[in-house]
Structure 1
Amino acid sequence: MTHASATSRRRFLQQCTAAGAAFGFPTIIPSSALGKDGTVAPSNRTTLALIGCGGRGTDVVKNFLNDERVQVIAVCDVERESDRYNKGLIKKAGAFGREPAKRLVDKTYGTTGCAVHEDFREVLARADVDAVQIATPDHWHALQAVAAARAKKHIYCEKPLSLTIAQGRFMSDVVRQSGVVWQTGSQQRSDVHFRMAAEYVRNGKIGKLKQIRVGLASDNRDNNGCASQTEPTPVPAGLNYDLWLGPAPEAPFCPARLHSNWRWFYDYSGGNITDFGAHHLDIVQWALGMDESGPVEFLDLNAEWPAPGSLYTTAPKFDFAYRYADGTTVRVKDKQDFGAGISFEGELGSVLCTRGKLEIKPVELRKPLADGDVRLFESKDHFRNFIDAIQTGAKTAAPIEYAHRSITIAHLANIALRLRRQKLRWDPTKEQILDDAEAAAMQTRPMRGPWKLA
């Protein structure tokens, strides 16, 4: 465990009464406080706060709630509770927000002690928080991650890592300088099927690669049931909409804009190219041994865009290719003939990997790795691996630099598609778009005041 974390946990029981008074929540010390019932005593647990209590944030925090080495002590969201005040507008989202997240935590622990916050800066100011789980929309990741790293909080942050290439570079540099533990929510790096596929490719088991094909999820699906509700409406009570927008451009509130559908707005995300590209393009990088580098050229770029007047601004259908310096070419479509996944195709055979499936052809190639073959880092549980790294110094499965390099590919594809380019050249060493000033300017975006990344 890190010295900072050990010190924080030792202080936790001593400070709990004072912290409760300072932040306005009751202090409940569970019966396992001394660890006599076989559980890990709170003084030896990693204390964690959840920032972003939507669907993904709530799903992931359940893994930390089930880890006996973790104590979730606070939740934070700009929304109090979605289904209490939206009167059925959010049809599919369910009950999201800080109050439902608090109830989940308290029910799990059998206490009433989980603190609630509206502003993430309050969480980062707490001395009793060792680590944070960031599960906010993409446009918030950079500001929150940088602030958390500078506050010496360990960070589990959802993918896609960043909204822009420049943000990702800045985030990675700050995290490295701060020395905190980082895990990206690219859980396919802890999936045995994707690791085995990457190992087969890395060790040349299918021969020289002819091409790689990647299928991403298709279209801008209606995740919250409110895609048609695009007319501006009053901001519901209990939602700090200005803080939800944060660094993004000013925009009127409407139900279609929030609750997972934000993925289809270029102001907040990059559509399916970044959303699922953060997963599958990351595995391609892993398989090729390019975790800290990237391709040099984008080509064969095509996209269909939302109809004029649509609120959504990301491409529902697309295809593009990118090429590495050694000639290896990756072809990406919204959906391949095998659906969503990755097909590595070599001179001797192929490896197809999707979630829950690994298919190696021909069958003669299905052999265990030999002595001396490259073995990639093995994590069997993405969430426990994060806590292992905090408490024992173990490596994490998805370091921030790897995530930055992977999502850079998706950002570059979006830039080229939005500018209707036929080709785009990239220098992965200098991290610069070449010979295209307009495209290079899109490696960053302005932030709405007073927010800035510095």
Structure 2
Amino acid sequence: MTQTNRRSFLRQSACTLATFAAPMILPRRVFGANDRIAIAAIGVRNQGAGNVKRFLAAGVDIVGICDVDSKVAADGVAIVAEKGPAPKTYGDYRRLLEEKGIDAVVITTPDHWHAKMTIEACAAGKDVYCEKPLSLTIAEGRRMVNAAREHKRIVQTGSQQRSSKEFWQACMLVRNGFIGDVKEVIVGIPDPNHPGSIGPVEPVPTELNYDMWLGPAQEKPYHSKRVHYNFRFWWDYSGGQMTNFGAHHLDIAQWGLGMDNSGPVAVEGTAEFHPQMFHEVTEKCRLVYTYANGIRMTLGQGQSDIKDGTVFVGTKGTVTVNRGKLITDPVDLAKTPLDAAELTQLYRSTDHTKNFLDCMQSRELPICDVEIGHRSATVCHLGNFVARLGRPIKWDPITESCPGDAEAQAMTDRVYRAPWV
């Protein structure tokens, strides 16, 4: 399969935002036209398996598979072996990072592992494709950005909606004033598809290294409804649908508002929880974010008047966007040509995986760079602060702090379990 190269990146980037001065990141090594990129995957269940398939389809060599569940790891190896040589298997990501022949890692683990693995991968000289949400905490996200910049690594956040035409088109219409001045944004996220009611503690399966699965998270009794897909519904590992789908739809809101390097200044609202069920995260919520320019964004979960997706409301029209769907008012707005030279051209990507690989070669920042992923994840985390505290908070997007609010500020970071500190 033809290897991605610098020229393909330059063609793809022809529509890069004119004011987006993406710095050049010095490469660890220069890829030749016939060089194949060597990738290792950390976490290969569900979305992780999908990522393995996408990277294989892009023409790279998957040379390593790492998972703390040996059965899951074996499944990942089998996916790769169908297309070529079987990759080396690891149960400990640290051993994988020691390998000199790996150019990049794809991290598709529970969220509580994202920061530590990304930071250590950058220090090991490897580029990183990290699934969304980028981090479990705001402070972790900033440390991830710092590591990427310090070690001159390409880090792509897996918020792949940025590489879909309908979302680019929606944000182009909004950013170029086709709906007038933006007055409001409405974002809908799904109800929690949680695992059901609480059951007794279970024995740890022999194939799972549960202590390694927990990693820096605090020790808790094992239950099948805590691990694998269900990690999303426990505060120690994730943030519910707020971070699961918020990292998609709130990310598009940030893009459309031109807030990739900033965020809201205040958040308020209400949330409902269901303590009898086997999860800790929100069951329903309705939150309002306020930006410094006065724009208000309402986020709804389990709200009858708010559908999944992102809606931009302007003085001259609206743009509603979700996967595979773009609706505009006026209707003809969706037919607007967006290639005119006088328009502000946003970064354009048609394939999130390929964009990352192209940027590994060109050393330009990817479409959902670590800073962007961090800022979008921050919006999600702030919503969870309000939900959990049951009161409004203020936020300073410059200092990345909750001024005068020690309780909220304490939620911006977490204590790691030994020996992972």
TM-score by length of 2: 0.90
Q: Aligned residue for 1:176?
A: 149
Q: Aligned residue for 2:28?
A: 4
Q: Aligned residue for 2:176?
A: 203
Match of 1:320 among 282, 287, 301: 287
8 Å CA contact 2:385–2:411 kept in 1: the answer is yes
- C-alpha distance 3-162 of structure 1, shift in aligned 2 (>3 A): closer
Q: Aligned residue for 1:52?
A: 43
Match of 2:315 among 334, 338, 347: 347
Show the 5 A alignment for 1:210-289: 210-222=183-195, 227-228=196-197, 230-289=199-258
Match of 2:409 among 440, 446, 449: 440
Match of 2:134 among 155, 161, 176: 161
Q: Secondary structure at the match of 1:377?
A: coil
8 Å CA contact 1:76–1:118 kept in 2: the answer is yes
Q: Aligned residue for 1:363?
A: 331
8 Å CA contact 2:300–2:306 kept in 1: the answer is no
Q: Distance in 1 between matches of 2:218 and 2:363?
A: 40
Residue identity opposite 2:377 in structure 1: I
| Structure 2 residue 31 is matched with structure 1 residue 63 | no
CA displacement at 1:228 relative to structure 2: 4.5
Q: Aligned residue for 1:78?
A: 68
8 Å CA contact 2:198–2:278 kept in 1: the answer is no
Structure 1 residue ranges (4+ consecutive) displaced by more than 4 angstroms after TM superposition? none
8 Å CA contact 2:270–2:386 kept in 1: the answer is no
8 Å CA contact 2:170–2:321 kept in 1: the answer is yes
Q: Distance in 2 between matches of 1:361 and 1:108?
A: 46
Q: Aligned residue for 2:80?
A: 105
Q: Distance in 1 between matches of 2:253 and 2:134?
A: 17
CA displacement at 1:347 relative to structure 2: 1.4
Q: For 1:308-340, what per-residue CA distance to the aligned partner results, in whole angstroms no more than 9, with x for missing partners?
A: 4x4311012111010101100000001554621
| Aligned residues with identical type, % of pairs | 42
Q: For 1:374-416, what per-residue CA distance to the aligned partner results, in whole angstroms no more than 9, with x for missing partners?
A: 1100001000111101123343110000111111111111112
Residue identity opposite 1:52 in structure 2: G
Gaps of 5+ in 2: 1-5, 7-25
Q: Aligned residue for 2:347?
A: 377
Q: Secondary structure at the match of 1:431?
A: coil
Q: How many residues align?
A: 394
Match of 1:387 among 351, 357, 379: 357
Q: Distance in 2 between matches of 1:178 and 1:230?
A: 45
Q: Aligned residue for 1:415?
A: 385
Residue identity opposite 1:117 in structure 2: Y
CA displacement at 1:230 relative to structure 2: 3.1
8 Å CA contact 2:163–2:349 kept in 1: the answer is yes
Q: For 1:344-378, what per-residue CA distance to the aligned partner results, in whole angstroms no more than 9, with x for missing partners?
A: 11111100001000011112434223431111000
- Output the aligned Cα RMSD: 1.6
- C-alpha distance 323-3 of structure 1, shift in aligned 2 (>3 A): closer
Q: Aligned residue for 1:21?
A: none
Q: Distance in 1 between matches of 2:124 and 2:364?
A: 21
Q: Distance in 2 between matches of 1:278 and 1:122?
A: 30
- C-alpha distance 207-416 of structure 1, shift in aligned 2 (>3 A): same
Q: Aligned residue for 2:3?
A: none
Residue identity opposite 1:100 in structure 2: D
TM-score by length of 1: 0.84
Largest Rg, 1 or 2: 1
